[in-house]
């Protein structure tokens, strides 16, 4: 058993931390408050190769794995820059296109995803389906060689900053008449695709959208993969990278909050000589949160290692557990940090309560804590499915 990163991964982590510190949480917050995006940070990370660490070298990436991308997500978040689109574009979209796209799709999209000049976002959630993927009602119909896509998607992140959106739809299987999932790479400016920004109570430079697809006409090659059979495996290919990287972002956010709070409590004095951190009522909750974050990190890197070794089923269990643990740990860490900072915890300047909305959302998206508990109960504990 080995808990060490490789020397290259150590270097990557240090370099990403340096980049994140150059921008920092105040940059992230100022962009969010101005309704702008973290474009400068994204492009610099792309130029330095951090957005493409998991993309094969022949398409301009670093040729590494999800472990490397998880390090990028965690370290940027640990400097106060939790970039949700890292989870969507390089983790989900690039993995799906690398593993299940056609050679033309790989050549067309992966180099831009690797250097950050292109973003592809991901749309699965629907207003009437929610956590129940089996109820998806966005449908793709054949019209000659083209496809016509109709339906609605909700909470789709980053549509305003992406060139394409990977839409999960259903198509009719000609042999069985049954609907099966299929993924389409849809230009965000396609006629018939309308987006409406949702008002979310999350301080974030990334926005969520309601999408309306009204007979969006797509050429045959918009379908991910060579045939309709690619749909289901392509969809599943995105799940483990999504869970692992979102968990890494949560763990990094937790580390950031605990660092901010412990720096403060070690020096703040309101009772004479001792710092407030000398009081166990202040220090123990922070220490407890630090333990939870570190435990989540162990599961994140176990899941990433299993995934990179091609052990997908085991990575599925660990990835779900990591996402659950990190979601809970991040929410606990931020809330505990706010309390330890007192009034300062609620100010923009100290930069901790600015993360409350994001970590709360991390217990809901991209898969909720309850759906992970359902998964663990069913697949690890052998319980019957109740829903
Ligand atoms: C900030 C943010 C960004 C997002 N970005 C994207 C994106 O880019 N692309 C995308 O496709 N989606 C995105 N989502 C959507 C996200 O994946 C969904 O919100 C999530 O899957 C839950 O679906 P829902 O909101 O419809 O909740 P519902 O399915 O309506 O569930 C509501 C509550 O009921 C619980 N529940 C439901 N069924 C069960 C059950 N069987 N057992 C126990 N509890 C249950 C859930 O856990 C949840 O707490 C985003 C969401 C947020 C908040």
153 in a domain, yes or no?
Answer: yes
What's the 9 CA to ligand 1 centre distance in angstroms? 33
Number of domains in the chain: 3
384 in a domain, yes or no?
Answer: no
Mutate which of 86, 96, 125 to test ligand 1's pocket (most atoms within 8 Å of Cβ)?
125
**Which of these, 162, 156, 138, lies nearest to 148 by C-alpha position?**
138
- The DSSP symbol for 19 reads H
| Per-run averaged pLDDT (10 residues), the chain, 387 residues | 94 98 98 98 98 98 98 98 97 97 98 97 96 92 96 98 97 78 97 98 98 98 92 91 98 98 98 95 98 98 97 96 98 98 98 98 97 97 93
1 in a domain, yes or no?
Answer: no
Q: Give the whole-angstrom CA distance, residue 91 versus residue 87.
A: 5
237 in a domain, yes or no?
Answer: yes
Q: Give the whole-angstrom CA distance, residue 173 versus residue 181.
A: 10
Residue 75 near residue 17, CB atoms below 8 Å: yes
Q: Give the whole-angstrom CA distance, residue 305 versus residue 312.
A: 10
The domain boundary residue, chosen from 101, 119, 137: 119
387 in a domain, yes or no?
Answer: no
Q: Give the whole-angstrom CA distance, residue 123 versus residue 153.
A: 6
CA of 387, closest atom in ligand 1: 41
One domain for residues 242 and 290 = yes
The H-or-E segment that residue 329 falls in is helix 312-341
One domain for residues 288 and 375 = yes
Residue 250 near residue 359, CB atoms below 8 Å: yes
One domain for residues 246 and 341 = yes
Q: Give the whole-angstrom CA distance, residue 185 versus residue 137.
A: 17
- Nearest CA residue ID for atom 6, ligand 1: 156
pTM summary value: 0.97
Q: Give the whole-angstrom CA distance, residue 188 versus residue 132.
A: 25
What's the 131 CA to ligand 1 centre distance in angstroms? 5
Mutate which of 130, 184, 204, 369 to test ligand 1's pocket (most atoms within 8 Å of Cβ)?
130
Q: Give the whole-angstrom CA distance, residue 37 versus residue 205.
A: 5
Beta bridge partners of 76: none
2 in a domain, yes or no?
Answer: no
Q: Give the whole-angstrom CA distance, residue 94 versus residue 62.
A: 13
Structure tokens at 355: 């993360």
Burial degree of 218 (CB within 10 A; 0-12, 13-18, 19+): buried
One domain for residues 244 and 215 = no
Which tens digits make up the pLDDT trace of 118-170? 999 999 999 999 999 889 999 999 999 999 999 999 999 999 999 999 999 99
385 in a domain, yes or no?
Answer: no
Domain CATH for 110 = 1.10.540.10
Q: How much is the pLDDT for 172?
A: 80
Q: Which domain holds residue 92?
A: 7-119
Structure tokens at 75: 């370290």
Beta bridge partners of 149: 140, 216
CA of 168, closest atom in ligand 1: 11
Q: Which residues line ligand 1 (CB under 6 A)?
A: 88, 121-125, 130-131, 155-157, 202, 208, 361, 364-368, 370-371, 374, 387
- Nearest CA residue ID for atom 38, ligand 1: 131
One domain for residues 252 and 370 = yes
One domain for residues 57 and 109 = yes
CA of 153, closest atom in ligand 1: 11
What's the 11 CA to ligand 1 centre distance in angstroms? 36
Mutate which of 155, 210, 328, 330 to test ligand 1's pocket (most atoms within 8 Å of Cβ)?
155
357 in a domain, yes or no?
Answer: yes
CA atoms within 13 A on the CB side of 126: 19
What's the 377 CA to ligand 1 centre distance in angstroms? 19
CA of 124, closest atom in ligand 1: 11
The residues near 245 (Cβ < 8 Å, ≥ 6 apart) are 66, 69, 70, 73, 86, 87, 91
How many helices and strands, by DSSP H and E, does the chain display? 11, 7
The domain boundary residue, chosen from 104, 119, 134: 119
Residue 313 to residues 232, 245, 317, 320: CA-CA distances in angstroms?
15, 17, 7, 11
Listed in sequence order, the DSSP H helices in 94-230 are: 94-100, 103-115
The domain boundary residue, chosen from 199, 228, 257: 228
User: Is the sign of the CA dihedral 56, 59, 61, 67 positive or negative?
Assistant: negative
One domain for residues 18 and 110 = yes
- How many other β-carbons are positioned within 10 Å of the β-carbon of residue 361? 19
What's the 306 CA to ligand 1 centre distance in angstroms? 26
One domain for residues 307 and 323 = yes
One domain for residues 329 and 293 = yes
């Amino acid at each position: 058993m080995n808990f060490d990163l490789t020397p290259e991964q150590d270097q990557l982590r240090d370099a990403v931390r340096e980049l994140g510190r150059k921008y920092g949480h105040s940059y992230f917050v100022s962009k969010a408050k101005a309704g702008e995006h973290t474009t400068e940070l994204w492009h610099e990370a792309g130029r330095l190769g951090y957005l493409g660490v998991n993309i094969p070298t022949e398409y301009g990436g670093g040729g590494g794995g999800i472990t490397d991308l998880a390090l990028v997500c965690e370290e940027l978040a640990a400097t106060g820059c939790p970039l949700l689109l890292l989870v969507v574009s390089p983790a989900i979209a690039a993995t799906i296109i690398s593993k299940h796209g056609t050679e033309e799709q790989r050549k067309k999209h992966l180099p831009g995803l690797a250097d950050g000049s292109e973003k592809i976002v991901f749309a699965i959630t629907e207003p009437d389906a929610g956590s129940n993927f089996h109820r998806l009602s966005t449908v793709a119909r054949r019209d000659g060689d083209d496809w016509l896509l109709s339906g609605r998607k909700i909470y789709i992140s980053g549509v305003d900053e992406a060139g394409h959106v990977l839409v999960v739809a259903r198509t009719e299987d000609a042999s069985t008449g049954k609907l099966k999932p299929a993924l389409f790479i849809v230009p965000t400016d396609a006629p018939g695709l309308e987006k409406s920004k949702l008002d979310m109570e999350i301080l974030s430079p990334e926005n969520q959208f309601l999408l309306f697809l009204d007979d969006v006409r797509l050429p045959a090659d918009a379908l991910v993969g060579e045939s309709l059979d690619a749909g289901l495996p392509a969809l599943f290919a995105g799940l483990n990278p999504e869970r692992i990287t979102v968990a890494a972002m949560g763990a990094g956010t937790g580390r950031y909050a605990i660092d901010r709070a412990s720096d403060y409590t070690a020096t703040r004095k309101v009772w004479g000589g001792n710092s407030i951190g000398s009081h166990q009522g202040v220090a123990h909750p922070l220490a407890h949160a630090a333990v939870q974050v570190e435990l989540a990190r162990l599961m994140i890197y176990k899941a990433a290692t299993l995934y990179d070794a091609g052990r997908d089923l085991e990575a599925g269990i660990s990835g779900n557990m990591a996402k659950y643990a990190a979601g809970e740990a991040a929410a606990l860490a931020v809330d505990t940090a706010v309390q330890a900072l007192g009034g300062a915890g609620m100010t923009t300047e100290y930069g901790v309560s600015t993360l409350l909305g994001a970590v709360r959302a991390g217990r809901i998206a991209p898969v909720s804590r309850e759906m992970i508990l359902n998964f663990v109960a069913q697949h690890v504990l052998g319980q019957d499915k109740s829903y």
